[in-house]
Structure 1
Amino acid sequence: MTVFAIILISVVYILISNKIFIGSTDSEFTDYLKNNHVLANDKIDGKLFDDSFYNSQVILLGEVHGYADNQKLDQELLTFLNQKAGVRYYIAEMDSTNSHKLNLFLHGNTKDQNLLKEVVLAVQKRIPQQSSKELLEKWNHMYDYNQTLQDSLKISVIGIDTDFNDNSRKISRDSAMIMNFKNSVKKLNIGHKKFYGLFGFYHVLQHGVKKNEKPFAERLKNSGFKTSSIVSYTLDSEMYLPKNPQFPTPDDQKVGWINADGPLMLVKGINDFKEFTQPNSITLFKLNANSSPYQHSNKLISVKSTMFGESFTPKENTNTLDYFQYMVLLRNSKALTPLQ
């Protein structure tokens, strides 16, 4: 057998196995999703959110870093929750030093662009794919929004990540996050308040997928904080992948290989959602309505990464809703833009 034939057989095998993993559309799920989705391109209207969602003390959005529309979605959700539920505390995947600087910006008399840029550039140390022009624009927008609010409703940021300048790991990041969150809540005497934040996908899972590790959201629930999680997936989208020594990166630092339907990332059950989304759209899906098939399924939480990133296998006797309750699907999202 020639080398070419071996390569061809290997490629065909991978394509077939990927297709089997994702699965074809299932009418039980599409019939459900038909009545439980809403377009969220420009604003969140909230009609899919139920009492359980609004009664949550902590609401989390989980993303795969690098997609521009997640910054837009984060901005829309924060604004919506501030207006609808009075949420004014944004918990962030950044350290307390930089959240303090961000608060100085948000509550300043003028837009201090140098201070904001300092924060956005600092994010490169921990989340290189998030440090971007869009991140800067989001917080500029939130500054303007804050100016329209009474002091009692103005948005403030609580950074709960580990020190950006300290890479030593005495405890896991998620352990540090819950400890820092609790300490901040106690220090500020805001245990009765509601919180919202954007984090990397893994941190918002309400059940562990790794042996002996618990995500931030699971630790929140175990600590008595009622939590709702929303996860974001993408189709036909580009990711910002900064140049790094680990992976080959195009000159423009944009890649289109990492979407929920492959080739480098595969999400079981993603095909059920395609017919309900439009090109260039953001669509919100409610997964936990009455008679939801996700109550007895592991779709969306079974994730296979074929080259880099993390694969997730749900724990035995768990279902999708044990991990998150809502999903957002981005179509044709652009990549984040490096900050010049």
Structure 2
Amino acid sequence: MIKSSILAGVAVAVMLCASSAMAQMPPPLPAEALVDRADPAKVEWLRANVVADGPVTGGLSFDFPAEFYQQKLILLGESHGVAAPQVLDLELLTLLNARAGLTDYLAEVDPVQGAMLNQYLETGDEAVLDRVFDYWSGSGAQWGNTAFEAKVRGIRALNLTLPAERRVRILGIDAIQDWPLFAQWIQEKGGTADAEMLVAAAADRANPEPLADMALAAVASLTTQTPETARLSGVLGDLRAKAGREATIFNTYSRAVTSGELGDRPAYGLWGLFHIMQSGVNGARSFAARVKASDLPAARAMSSIIVLSLESWVQIPAPTPQGVQRMRLNMLNIDGPYVMVQGAATLKAASEPGQITLFNPRAAGSPLAGGDFMNIQSSVQRFALDEPNAPIDSYVQYVGVFRGSDWAAPRE
């Protein structure tokens, strides 16, 4: 399962305890932790500094400052399993394509999955799309949902309206997820790869060198080497070096920039909340924090956007004795009972039911305090900012909330 955001991890932990294999649900947060009152001054200021607004089902209007369209890296952060962020993602991508000429979608998928998704974008072959999504559906990952699938179809529909040089392509920069798909892709390209041996080697997580060596040999067996295969080899080299997931994501992005595959072009993508945080959380450095500390062009030209849920439903894949069960839950919003975000009541008062609303917390005259909308308490998982009293823009540049979204329904 892709545990790519703190809130997604919270949700998984809740459902593990809620499954029939466990005795009981974990306790909710104590009553005193759930006390939160809207601050009228902050509500008024937020309402005056909206940069995006519209229904959770789509049709948003945008009013970002001009600098937003000049960024080299824009990251949207969500807690997976809800439909509204997928809607926002497609509309932001469409906006950036139109206003900034952005064509590179930086995805929380591995290079082979990204290549297969690009094949679908080019051909419309539903069997290709099914093959990528079948892995997530079968493994219990929250990416196995109809909202994500509809978004990919939406990107293809967008591309069909654009000239070739303006069409969106997907860059997968994550660690390898689907080893059988990796083998299939190598074989289809004329190389040699043994899926069974790769899967067997992948089972030994503590000793990744044999798996990495086998996979690198498979890539080397291809007669044609491209920037795409170079990116893939880099991911496999990081696997061999036990680099860790965040380091792999950063290294792959960095190599795409410095090699010229991405170069100086801007990139945008949807990621789990933790990945887009620009300062440390729980003593760990995310992808965005690593970019910020680097000498890459995006270090000085990056915007992170966080979107938080209220009155919404989330899809949680829960392991049970009967197999993975997809649960539809509404107890994991940012105002309790299991998760509490500092300032949740203020966000609620500044927004409307059934809407997605993004705010600019860096606008002039901000009354926001350090930790507003960033400090998260949970009853099942630790979430601690390394700089708990730092200004919001130490972590993100835009804060959003969506209210009344349905879950991202499972495909099956």
TM bracket, shorter-chain basis: 0.7 to 0.9
2:146 maps to which residue? 133
Q: Does residue 115 of structure 2 align to residue 100 of structure 1?
A: yes
How far 1:270 moved relative to its partner? 1.1
How far 1:337 moved relative to its partner? 1.1
Identify which of 356, 359, 364 aligns with 1:290. Answer: 364
Identify which of 311, 315, 319 aligns with 1:244. Answer: 319
Runs (4+) off by over 4 Å: 124-127, 166-169
Q: Does residue 110 of structure 2 align to residue 39 of structure 1?
A: no
Identity across the alignment (%): 28
How far 1:95 moved relative to its partner? 0.3
Aligned with 2:406: secondary structure? coil
- Separation (CA, whole Å) in 2 of partners of 1:201 and 1:126: 21
Deviation sequence 1:209-250 (CA, Å, 0-9, x none): 222x2111111122231210001100111110112259x99x
1:65 maps to which residue? 80
How far 1:311 moved relative to its partner? 1.7
How well do the aligned residues superpose, as a CA RMSD in angstroms? 2.3
2:377 maps to which residue? 304
How far 1:15 moved relative to its partner? 4.5
- Separation (CA, whole Å) in 2 of partners of 1:270 and 1:314: 21
Residues 117, 136 of structure 1: 8 Å contact kept: no
How far 1:263 moved relative to its partner? 0.8
Aligned length: 319
1:265 maps to which residue? 339
- Separation (CA, whole Å) in 2 of partners of 1:127 and 1:252: 8
Residues 44, 77 of structure 1: 8 Å contact kept: no
Aligned with 1:40: secondary structure? strand
- Separation (CA, whole Å) in 1 of partners of 2:98 and 2:152: 17
**TM-score of the two chains, using structure 2 as the length reference:** 0.72
**TM-score of the two chains, using structure 1 as the length reference:** 0.87
1:8 maps to which residue? none
- Separation (CA, whole Å) in 2 of partners of 1:125 and 1:59: 31
How far 1:106 moved relative to its partner? 0.8
2:244 maps to which residue? 172
Matching of residues 42-53 of structure 1 within 5 Å:
42-47=58-63, 49-53=64-68
1:4 maps to which residue? none
Q: Which runs of 5+ in 1 are unaligned?
A: 1-10
Residues 34, 337 of structure 2: 8 Å contact kept: no
Letter aligned with residue 218 of structure 1: A
Identify which of 11, 15, 18 aligns with 2:33. Answer: 18
1:221 maps to which residue? 292
Identify which of 166, 174, 180 aligns with 1:161. Answer: 174
Identify which of 73, 79, 89 aligns with 1:74. Answer: 89
2:306 maps to which residue? 231
Aligned with 2:61: secondary structure? coil
- Separation (CA, whole Å) in 2 of partners of 1:97 and 1:30: 45
CA 1:320 to 1:126, structure 2 compared with 1: closer, same or farther past 3 Å?
Answer: farther
Q: Does residue 267 of structure 2 align to residue 195 of structure 1?
A: yes
CA 1:176 to 1:16, structure 2 compared with 1: closer, same or farther past 3 Å?
Answer: same
Letter aligned with residue 148 of structure 2: L
Aligned with 1:209: secondary structure? coil
- Separation (CA, whole Å) in 2 of partners of 1:43 and 1:126: 33
